Amino acid sequence: MGPTDKPVDLDYYANAGSGEPVFVLHGRDRYASGLVRLWALLRHADGDDTASVAEALLCADTMDNWACRLGRKAGESDERFEAFYVVATDGLNEHPVGFQSPCYCGKCRPWKLSAATGQ
Protein backbone atom coordinates (compact mmCIF):
# COMPACT_ATOMS: atom_id res chain seq x y z
CA MET A 1 0.00 0.00 0.00
CA GLY A 2 1.01 3.57 -0.44
CA PRO A 3 2.40 5.78 -3.14
CA THR A 4 5.17 4.34 -5.26
CA ASP A 5 7.47 7.31 -4.54
CA LYS A 6 7.33 7.02 -0.75
CA PRO A 7 8.43 4.13 1.43
CA VAL A 8 5.77 2.45 3.54
CA ASP A 9 6.10 0.77 6.90
CA LEU A 10 4.23 -2.31 5.77
CA ASP A 11 5.86 -3.99 2.77
CA TYR A 12 3.27 -6.45 1.57
CA TYR A 13 5.45 -7.83 -1.19
CA ALA A 14 8.15 -8.69 1.32
CA ASN A 15 5.56 -10.22 3.65
CA ALA A 16 3.94 -12.34 0.91
CA GLY A 17 4.82 -16.00 0.92
CA SER A 18 6.68 -17.46 -2.02
CA GLY A 19 4.19 -17.73 -4.87
CA GLU A 20 1.40 -16.14 -2.85
CA PRO A 21 -1.06 -14.27 -5.12
CA VAL A 22 -1.10 -10.48 -4.73
CA PHE A 23 -3.57 -8.06 -6.35
CA VAL A 24 -2.43 -4.51 -7.08
CA LEU A 25 -4.77 -1.54 -7.52
CA HIS A 26 -3.51 1.58 -9.28
CA GLY A 27 -4.62 5.04 -8.20
CA ARG A 28 -5.96 5.66 -11.70
CA ASP A 29 -8.49 2.81 -11.35
CA ARG A 30 -11.94 4.32 -10.77
CA TYR A 31 -12.77 1.71 -8.14
CA ALA A 32 -9.42 1.56 -6.37
CA SER A 33 -10.05 4.01 -3.53
CA GLY A 34 -13.52 2.59 -2.85
CA LEU A 35 -12.24 -0.97 -2.72
CA VAL A 36 -9.42 0.04 -0.40
CA ARG A 37 -11.87 1.85 1.92
CA LEU A 38 -14.18 -1.15 1.97
CA TRP A 39 -11.24 -3.43 2.77
CA ALA A 40 -10.24 -1.07 5.61
CA LEU A 41 -13.78 -1.09 7.03
CA LEU A 42 -13.99 -4.86 6.96
CA ARG A 43 -10.58 -5.20 8.63
CA HIS A 44 -11.60 -2.59 11.23
CA ALA A 45 -14.83 -4.50 11.90
CA ASP A 46 -12.76 -7.65 12.45
CA GLY A 47 -10.66 -5.76 15.01
CA ASP A 48 -7.52 -6.11 12.94
CA ASP A 49 -4.50 -3.96 13.44
CA THR A 50 -5.19 -0.27 13.28
CA ALA A 51 -1.91 0.60 11.53
CA SER A 52 -2.92 -1.37 8.43
CA VAL A 53 -6.40 0.16 8.47
CA ALA A 54 -5.04 3.70 8.89
CA GLU A 55 -2.51 3.16 6.13
CA ALA A 56 -5.20 1.81 3.80
CA LEU A 57 -7.45 4.82 4.43
CA LEU A 58 -4.57 7.21 3.82
CA CYS A 59 -3.77 5.32 0.63
CA ALA A 60 -7.41 5.62 -0.50
CA ASP A 61 -7.28 9.40 0.04
CA THR A 62 -4.04 9.54 -1.93
CA MET A 63 -5.68 7.53 -4.71
CA ASP A 64 -8.54 10.04 -4.82
CA ASN A 65 -6.04 12.89 -5.04
CA TRP A 66 -4.31 11.09 -7.86
CA ALA A 67 -7.60 10.62 -9.70
CA CYS A 68 -8.27 14.37 -9.32
CA ARG A 69 -4.89 15.10 -10.86
CA LEU A 70 -6.08 13.06 -13.82
CA GLY A 71 -9.13 15.32 -14.11
CA ARG A 72 -11.59 13.02 -12.42
CA LYS A 73 -14.15 13.97 -9.78
CA ALA A 74 -13.15 13.73 -6.10
CA GLY A 75 -14.92 10.88 -4.31
CA GLU A 76 -16.21 9.42 -7.57
CA SER A 77 -15.66 5.94 -6.22
CA ASP A 78 -17.69 6.62 -3.06
CA GLU A 79 -20.87 7.00 -5.10
CA ARG A 80 -20.61 3.38 -6.21
CA PHE A 81 -19.53 2.10 -2.79
CA GLU A 82 -21.88 3.99 -0.46
CA ALA A 83 -24.27 1.06 0.02
CA PHE A 84 -21.34 -1.24 0.79
CA TYR A 85 -19.93 1.24 3.32
CA VAL A 86 -23.30 1.43 5.06
CA VAL A 87 -23.55 -2.36 5.32
CA ALA A 88 -19.93 -2.68 6.43
CA THR A 89 -20.31 -0.05 9.17
CA ASP A 90 -23.76 -1.02 10.46
CA GLY A 91 -23.27 -2.46 13.94
CA LEU A 92 -19.85 -0.88 14.51
CA ASN A 93 -19.51 1.39 17.53
CA GLU A 94 -17.51 3.83 15.43
CA HIS A 95 -15.77 4.05 12.10
CA PRO A 96 -11.97 3.92 11.86
CA VAL A 97 -10.04 7.16 12.18
CA GLY A 98 -9.55 8.62 8.73
CA PHE A 99 -12.75 7.22 7.24
CA GLN A 100 -14.77 10.18 5.95
CA SER A 101 -17.15 8.44 3.55
CA PRO A 102 -20.84 7.54 4.00
CA CYS A 103 -21.15 5.54 7.19
CA TYR A 104 -23.75 3.92 9.43
CA CYS A 105 -21.72 3.24 12.55
CA GLY A 106 -23.05 4.03 16.01
CA LYS A 107 -21.19 7.34 15.98
CA CYS A 108 -22.74 8.49 12.67
CA ARG A 109 -26.15 6.82 12.72
CA PRO A 110 -27.73 9.03 15.45
CA TRP A 111 -26.74 12.12 13.50
CA LYS A 112 -28.20 10.72 10.28
CA LEU A 113 -31.44 9.72 11.99
CA SER A 114 -31.85 13.16 13.55
CA ALA A 115 -31.08 14.82 10.22
CA ALA A 116 -33.67 12.64 8.49
CA THR A 117 -36.38 13.25 11.08
CA GLY A 118 -35.47 16.86 11.82
CA GLN A 119 -35.24 16.15 15.57
- List interacting residues with Zn ion (CB under 5 A): 95, 103, 105, 107-108
Q: Which residues contact 19 (CB under 8 A, 6 or more apart)?
A: none
Q: How far is the CB of 106 from Zn ion (least distance, A)?
A: 8
Give the nearer residue to Zn ion in terms of CB position, either 18 or 93.
93
Give the nearer residue to Zn ion in terms of CB position, either 44 or 95.
95
Sign of dihedral through CA atoms 22, 35, 2, 43?
negative
Q: How far is the CB of 103 from Zn ion (least distance, A)?
A: 3
Please state, in angstroms and rounded to a whole number, the distance separating the CA atoms of residues 100 and 89.
12
Give the nearer residue to Zn ion in terms of CB position, either 54 or 108.
108
